[in-house]
Amino acid sequence: MDKKKNVLDFLKMKKDREKITFLTCYDYPTATFAEKAGLDMLLVGDSLGMVVYGYEGTIPVTMEQMIVHSEAVRRGAPNIFVIGDMPFMSYQESVEKAIYNAGRFYKEAGADAIKLEGGRRVINRIKGIVNAGMVVMGHIGLTPQSSGQLGGFKAQGRTAQTAMELILDAKAIEEAGAFAILLEAIPPEVGKIITERSQIPVLSIGAGIDCDGQLLIVGDMLGLFEAFTPKFVKKYASLSDDITEAFRKYIQDIKEKKFPEEKHTYRMEPGEKEKLEKMVSGM
């Protein structure tokens, strides 16, 4: 296993045009698989609201939930750079609250960085957290926490004017001291311009091949989350089919008395069965 990468390694990867591999992760076993596979970064995303808890969106997700899942991911992937996602209303209210909650990811979950949504409008939050000594990833484009304002889960930056707004947001995020920017659901042309104009790594989830690295939601790419599949998803497995089929076979085996078999049972020590039978018959 390679040593855990840090912000300098990610800067070098951008400079060397080596792509950064990035996946969301919410639990211990998946984190162990990510570590075995050799991913560079994991995001404990507030997408866990939908993928793990079955909410319709990310709004109900709490700091407590984020901390519990981030801790589990940290334990499963001690050698991967882990980013905790600031949930809705953990940073919107004030700079002080943003710093306090970012600090919780560090102190309670052992995170290496935090991510928060928004461009110029959250710049003082980013500066505050960076000035407190923490590492921040910005997130612009389709920002699920403000999807109500965006009119739903829709691609962003599809006109010259809205693309310019994203370019200005990215510049402001970099100037505020963020170590990286995540672009979600924007045209690849815009992703390319932002990547070329940024000195810091630019990660993509639906922002095209030219960005410095790629992110997918683990439930989407494994075929575990079926409620909806965004256009940018590539499925690398169909685990929901495999799991459902395994459950069906289990049900059938129980009903047909094919499970448990001899090899799944614990036998008494030699001679103990006979002793027990005598004891029971004398009751």
Question: Which positions lie near ligand KIV, rule CB under 6 A?
Answer: 24, 43, 45-47, 85, 144, 182, 184, 205, 217
Of the pair 142, 193, the CB lying nearest ligand KIV is at: 142
Cα–Cα dist 108/105, whole Å: 6
Bridging pattern class, strands 136-141 and 113-117:
parallel
Picking from 89, 138, 80, 132, the residue whose alpha carbon sits closest to that of residue 110 is 80
Beta-strand (E) ranges in 50-201? Answer: 81-85, 113-117, 136-141, 180-184
Helix, strand, coil percent content, the chain, rounded in steps of 5: 45, 15, 40
Of the pair 153, 259, the CB lying nearest ligand KIV is at: 153
User: How many CA within 13 A on the CB side of residue 131?
Assistant: 12
Of the pair 85, 169, the CB lying nearest ligand KIV is at: 85
Q: What is the closest distance, in whole angstroms, from the C-beta atom of residue 61 to ligand KIV in the complex? A: 9
Cα–Cα dist 244/260, whole Å: 20
Q: What is the closest distance, in whole angstroms, from the C-beta atom of residue 216 to ligand KIV in the complex? A: 9
Q: What is the closest distance, in whole angstroms, from the C-beta atom of residue 66 to ligand KIV in the complex? A: 10
Q: Helix 95-109 to helix 123-131 angle, to the nearest 10 degrees?
A: 50
Of the pair 172, 185, the CB lying nearest ligand KIV is at: 185
Of the pair 31, 217, the CB lying nearest ligand KIV is at: 217
Active-site position among 71, 184, 256, 262: 184
Cα–Cα dist 103/134, whole Å: 8
The residue with its CB nearest to ligand KIV is: 45
Cα–Cα dist 159/112, whole Å: 35
Of the pair 88, 106, the CB lying nearest ligand KIV is at: 88
Q: What is the closest distance, in whole angstroms, from the C-beta atom of residue 26 to ligand KIV in the complex? A: 9
Q: What is the closest distance, in whole angstroms, from the C-beta atom of residue 265 to ligand KIV in the complex? A: 43
DSSP SS3 for 218 = helix
Q: What is the closest distance, in whole angstroms, from the C-beta atom of residue 183 to ligand KIV in the complex? A: 9
Picking from 18, 13, 71, the residue whose alpha carbon sits closest to that of residue 42 is 71
Cα-based angle 154, 158, 161 (whole degrees, multiple of 5)? 120
Clarify whether 269 is annotated catalytic.
no
By annotation, the residues acting in catalysis are 184
